[in-house]
């Protein structure tokens, strides 16, 4: 049968593979991009991968602790985005750039 | 629909297994999430990256619904796709992306970063290949209609008692207050 792959029931393992792929994409974005806005978006990608893992484990164990914890991770993501974008605006006002390798005011 | 497939579907439902179409939904949503995640980190224009990130968030929301987590899915749409992405788009509007999109897009050390990320991927792959047997194959169907009520009971407490996470919930509200104050103070021109 050609679509034998699609007949396999979806288990926790499938979700973990998707979350790992999203996590690695986010890490690549953080480590290689120059634009700070896209670096912050990559961090959101990483946090989403973590959330997906937590919810998948929540279903695997049959309780809701993972879902509650993923809500806390979402709160943290919102706080991080607000503060990070605030820093970005303050920095752009001073140096007129949003490239990470030109942010070197503390470099001696 | 031919009768053989039909009876197979019925027996699958009767045995408590997932319906036949479910894997298709999973693969479509997972593929959408990963492809648009790839677009987020490769686009030159930050607005295109933000739109691709919204598609990723919506695909992950679909995966939450498949995992019997309707409240987390709603929070994902309200907070991420509604709040955080709005913040990102406003900041993209405020800062000058014209110059940045004409610049070099990757920093000078990008091969090192890519190598480190590939090492992380290799770690994940080896852990998953070796540890696949550790994950039980069972997928429990959580009750969906009382999901929000149970989460509220854990966060706020129920029947006059404090919930398991009430204290952590209050700390989280303090964190949000600090983040709001920090964002306001940092973006003010003169304090």
A6 touches chain B (CB under 8 A): yes
Q: Contact at 8 Å (CB) between A19 and B63?
A: no
Domain shared by B11 and B84, yes or no: yes
Map residue A35 onto helix, strand or coil. Answer: strand
More confident residue, B91 or A4: B91
Regions of chain B short of the pLDDT cut 70: 1-21, 138-139, 191
- State how many domains chain B has: 2
Domain boundary among B67, B101, B135: B101
Partner-chain contact A6 B41, CB within 8 Å: no
Asked if residue A5 belongs to a domain, the reply is no
Residue A67: pLDDT over 70? yes
Asked if residue A2 belongs to a domain, the reply is no
| pLDDT number for residue B1 | 39
A29 touches chain B (CB under 8 A): yes
Asked if residue A103 belongs to a domain, the reply is no
**CATH assignment at residue A58:** 1.10.287.3510
- State how many domains chain A has: 1
Residue A51 belongs to what domain range? Answer: 34-96
Domain shared by B76 and B24, yes or no: yes
Asked if residue A20 belongs to a domain, the reply is no
* Rounded mean pLDDT, A29-42: 91
Give A-chain residues touching B124 at CB under 8 angstroms: 20, 23-24
Name the residue among B97, B168, B182 with its Cβ closest to that of A83: B182
| pLDDT number for residue A95 | 81
Q: How confident is residue A38, by pLDDT bands cut at 50, 70 and 90?
A: very high
Residue A33 phi/psi, 5-degree rounding, is -80, 155
pTM (whole model) above 0.95: no
A73 touches chain B (CB under 8 A): no
Q: How confident is residue A20, by pLDDT bands cut at 50, 70 and 90?
A: very high
Residue A5: pLDDT over 70? no
Residue B186 belongs to what domain range? Answer: 145-191
| pLDDT number for residue A6 | 65
ipTM of the complex: 0.90
Alpha-carbon span B10 to B147, nearest angstrom: 27
CB atoms within 10 A of CB A50: 18
Give B-chain residues touching A99 at CB under 8 angstroms: 100, 103
């Amino acid at each position: 049968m050609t679509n034998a792959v699609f007949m396999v029931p979806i288990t926790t393992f499938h979700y973990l593979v998707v979350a790992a792929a999203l996590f690695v994409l986010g890490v690549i974005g953080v480590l290689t991009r120059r634009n700070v806005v896209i670096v912050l978006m990559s961090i959101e990608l990483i946090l989403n991968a973590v959330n997906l893992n937590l919810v998948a484990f929540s279903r695997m164990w049959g309780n809701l602790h993972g879902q509650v914890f993923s809500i806390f991770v979402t709160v943290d993501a919102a706080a991080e985005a607000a503060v990070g974008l605030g820093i970005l605006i303050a920095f752009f006002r001073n140096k007129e750039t949003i490239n990470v390798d030109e942010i070197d005011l503390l470099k001696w | 629909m031919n009768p053989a497939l039909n009876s197979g579907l019925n027996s699958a439902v009767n045995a408590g297994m997932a319906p036949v179409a479910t894997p298709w939904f999973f693969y479509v949503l997972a593929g959408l999430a990963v492809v648009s995640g790839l677009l987020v980190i490769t686009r030159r224009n930050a607005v295109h990256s933000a739109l691709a990130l919204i598609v990723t968030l919506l695909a992950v929301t679909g995966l939450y619904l498949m995992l019997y987590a309707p409240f987390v899915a709603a929070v994902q749409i309200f907070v991420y796709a509604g709040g955080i992405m709005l913040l990102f788009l406003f900041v993209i509007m405020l800062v000058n992306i014209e110059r940045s999109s004409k610049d070099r897009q990757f920093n000078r050390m990008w091969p090192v970063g890519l190598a480190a990320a590939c090492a992380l991927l290799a770690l994940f792959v080896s852990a998953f290949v070796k540890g696949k047997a550790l994950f039980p194959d069972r997928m429990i169907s959580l009750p969906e209609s009382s999901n929000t009520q149970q989460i509220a009971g854990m966060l706020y407490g129920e029947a006059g008692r404090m919930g398991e996470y009430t204290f952590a919930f209050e700390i989280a509200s303090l964190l949000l207050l600090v983040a709001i104050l920090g964002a306001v103070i940092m973006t003010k021109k003169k304090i």
